[in-house]
Amino acid sequence: MATERIRLPERIERGRLLAAIKRIDEDGFAPHQQSTTYDLVHDGRRYPPIAVVAFAMEDFTSKSVPAAAIRGGKGT
């Protein structure tokens, strides 16, 4: 069964992104994957952008965002 893609909002609040980064620092980024091409860099540390966005979306919607529900990279 294919994972349904999630439509992202045009803007995600900075506070939600920072909360997502804190979550990754504390708990890791599973079930999401390590980035392969692009990284989000915050305070000198690298983060997989898809995981950051997924966790920020979970904070916004109160719903789990499964791995592969958000695409990233050039042209997406």
CA 23 from centroid of its chain's CA atoms: 11
Q: How far apart are CA 55 and CA 35, in angstroms?
A: 15
- The per-residue pLDDT string of the chain (76 residues; one tens digit each, 9 = 90 and over) reads 556 777 778 889 999 999 999 999 999 999 989 998 889 999 999 999 999 999 999 988 888 888 888 877 666 6
Residue 49: per-residue pLDDT: 93
Residue 30: per-residue pLDDT: 92
User: In the chain, what are the domain boundaries?
Assistant: 14-61
Closest CA to 48 of 58, 37, 57: 37
Contact yes or no for 21/12 (Cβ under 8 A): no
Residue 73: per-residue pLDDT: 67
